[in-house]
């Protein structure tokens, strides 16, 4: 123990007892000052809330899947255009069309160079600035019915094939973590702040200059749901659980299909229950993506529905056989182009769809 931290002792001073007292106070003050750095060095204990646990390295890695334009975050792997086509036909074509032309979902091929014209076509090939964006989205969100189930090799292959559909990559191309970030897509330099989001004739979304001093006292934020975008992905109100008002859309402005949502702040009221409507087989067939390859009366990629009905007329086992094929897929009955499986379709729904087809698709 240092002498400064020793307890003050009584001493005899020729200058009197007052000097002894001052010496004792001085010694005590020095002891406190010496101890302060030691007390400050002790870490403050984190508050305990009684729930949760620290994530493991594996848990953090499972969420840390973002990929940046420079390629940071890409895992090892490799895939070719040919490999991507085989995967696409099974897992992607039912929604995005055999050639990327789309069914009810976004077209992913074509339109390159059209964004500056009077008839812009927004597709994966025409609007994306970086190929890594496509890889990242496929990896985290596709296939729609079973996301995050593709291997890195499959994602590289699908990325290559989708870019090939827009003639950005040749048929013999392959992609990996080194080559993917080096791709320069046609719209690499096309993103600007000169106009509004999705519209070349609209004003920029942010127009004001940065304010640092003497700024306005009131700041109001608002969101817009432009008319041209309404119902572009169907009736969103019907696709969302009723948990409250939809931000940016007031009660007086519902979707074009007729639904309305509560204005912000309005109390939520339960809508009266409606009797369940009978399933519409034609709508179910369209929802399952069957119309991407089949029309009612003519061939597209596969046979028309009425051609199927004619082939299986009088076959008592046709309904069960075709319903199973809807869910499992198949090849060879009408040619060598495979029909992708639709495992997400319930067995009862598959039978309803097949009954409608065998009945002449009327």
Average pLDDT of the segment spanning 195-216: 68
Dump pLDDT digits (tens) for 161-195. 999 999 999 999 999 999 999 999 999 988 877 76
Q: What is the pLDDT of residue 182?
A: 95
Cα–Cα dist 217/32, whole Å? 49
**Among 255-269, 320-334, 345-359, the range of highest mean pLDDT:** 345-359
- Kindly tell me if the per-residue pLDDT of 18 is higher than 60: no
Percentage of the chain beyond pLDDT 70 is 68
Dump pLDDT digits (tens) for 90-120. 999 888 888 888 766 778 888 898 888 878 8
Confidence band of 257 (pLDDT split at 50, 70, 90): very low
CATH topology (fold) of 61-182 = Cytochrome Bc1 Complex; Chain D, domain 2 (1.10.760)
Q: What is the pLDDT of residue 24?
A: 53
Q: What are phi and psi of 153, to 5 degrees?
A: -60, -40
CA angle 138, 142, 145 (to 5 degrees): 175
Q: What is the pLDDT of residue 11?
A: 43
Verdict on whether the full-model pTM lies above 0.85 = no
Confidence band of 246 (pLDDT split at 50, 70, 90): very low
Residue pair 126/111 in contact by the 8 Å Cβ criterion: yes
- Nearest CA to 180 out of 79, 112, 99 is that of 79
Tell me whether residue 253 is exposed, middle or buried, using C-beta atoms within 10 angstroms of its C-beta: 0 to 12, 13 to 18, 19 or more.
middle
Of residues 306 and 301, more confidence is placed in 306
- Kindly tell me if the per-residue pLDDT of 256 is higher than 50: no
Q: What is the pLDDT of residue 233?
A: 64
Angle between helices 347-358 and 318-328 (to 10 degrees): 120
Cis, peptide link before residue 86, omega less than 30° from 0:
no
Residue 349 burial (CB count, 10 A):
20
CA angle 267, 271, 274 (to 5 degrees): 175
CATH topology (fold) of 281-358 = Cytochrome Bc1 Complex; Chain D, domain 2 (1.10.760)
Q: What are phi and psi of 79, to 5 degrees?
A: -155, 145
- Token pair belonging to 19: 């000097």
Q: What is the 3-state secondary structure (H, E, C) of the chain?
A: CCHHHCCCCCCCCCCCHHHHHHHHHHHHHHHHHHHHHHHHHCCCCCCCCCCCCCCCHHHHHHHCCCCCCCCCCCCCCEEEHHHHHHHHHHHCHHHHCCCCCCCCCCCCCCCCCCCCCCCCCCCHHHHCCCHHHHHHHHHHHCCCCCCCCCCHHHHHHHHHHHHHHCCCCCCCCEEECCCHHHCCCCCCCCCCCCCCCCCCCCCCCCCCCCCCCCCCCCCCCCCCCCHHHCCECECHHHHCCCCCCCCCCCCCCCCCCCCCCCCCCCCCCCCCCCCCCCCCHHHHHHHCCHHHCECCCCECCCCCHHHHHHHCCCCCCHHHHHHHHHHHCECCCCCCCCECCCCCCCHHHHHHHHHHHHCCCC
- Kindly tell me if the per-residue pLDDT of 353 is higher than 80: yes
Confidence band of 10 (pLDDT split at 50, 70, 90): very low
Q: What is the pLDDT of residue 142?
A: 93
Dump pLDDT digits (tens) for 31-56. 545 555 544 455 677 777 888 888 89
CA dihedral sign, ordered 181, 186, 189, 195: negative
- Nearest CA to 168 out of 100, 85, 112 is that of 112
- Nearest CA to 13 out of 4, 23, 3 is that of 23
Dump pLDDT digits (tens) for 58-90. 888 888 889 999 999 999 999 999 999 999 999
Q: What is the pLDDT of residue 356?
A: 92
Cα–Cα dist 246/240, whole Å? 10
- Tokens 């002894």, located at residue: 20
Confidence band of 9 (pLDDT split at 50, 70, 90): very low
Q: What is the pLDDT of residue 42?
A: 58
Average pLDDT of the segment spanning 145-151: 90
Q: What is the pLDDT of residue 269?
A: 47
Q: What are phi and psi of 284, to 5 degrees?
A: -65, -40
The residues pairing with 175 across neighbouring beta strands, listed in sequence order, are: 79
The CA distances from residue 336 to 290, 302, 321, 354, in Å, are 17, 10, 19, 22
Cα–Cα dist 4/12, whole Å? 19
Cα–Cα dist 125/135, whole Å? 13
Domain definitions of the chain by residue range = 3-41, 61-182, 281-358
């Amino acid at each position: 123990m240092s002498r400064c931290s020793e307890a003050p002792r009584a001493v005899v001073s020729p200058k009197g007892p007052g000097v002894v007292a001052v010496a004792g106070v001085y010694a005590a003050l020095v002891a406190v000052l010496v101890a302060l750095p030691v007390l400050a060095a002790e870490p403050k204990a984190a508050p305990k809330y009684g729930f949760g646990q620290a994530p493991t390295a594996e848990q953090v890695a499972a969420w840390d899947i973002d990929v940046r334009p420079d390629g940071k975050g890409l895992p090892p792997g490799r895939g070719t255009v040919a490999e991507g086509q085989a995967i696409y036909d099974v897992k992607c074509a039912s929604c995005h069309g055999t050639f990327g032309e789309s069914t009810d979902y976004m077209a992913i091929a074509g339109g390159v160079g059209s964004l500056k014209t009077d008839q812009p076509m927004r597709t994966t090939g025409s609007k994306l600035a970086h190929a890594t964006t496509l890889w990242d989205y496929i990896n985290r969100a596709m296939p729609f019915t079973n996301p995050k189930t593709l291997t890195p090799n499959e994602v590289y292959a699908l990325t290559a094939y989708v870019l090939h559909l827009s003639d950005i990559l040749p048929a013999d191309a392959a992609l990996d973590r080194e080559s993917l970030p080096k791709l320069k897509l046609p719209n690499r330099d096309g993103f600007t702040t000169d106009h509004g989001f999705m519209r070349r004739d609209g004003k920029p979304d942010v127009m004001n200059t940065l304010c640092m001093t003497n700024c306005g006292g009131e700041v109001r934020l608002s969101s817009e749901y432009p008319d041209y975008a309404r119902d572009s992905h169907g009736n969103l109100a019907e696709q969302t659980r009723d948990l409250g008002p939809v931000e940016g859309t007031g009660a007086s402005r519902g979707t074009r299909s007729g639904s309305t949502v509560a204005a912000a702040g309005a109390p939520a009221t339960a809508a009266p229950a409606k009797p369940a409507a009978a399933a519409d087989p034609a709508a179910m067939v369209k929802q399952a993506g069957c119309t991407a390859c089949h029309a009612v009366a003519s061939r597209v990629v596969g046979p028309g529905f009425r051609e199927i009905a004619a082939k299986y007329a009088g076959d008592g086992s046709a309904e069960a056989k075709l319903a199973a094929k809807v869910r499992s897929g198949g090849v060879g009955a009408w040619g060598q182009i495979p029909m992708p499986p639709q495992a997400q379709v319930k067995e009862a729904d598959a039978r309803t769809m097949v009954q409608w087809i065998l009945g002449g698709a009327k």
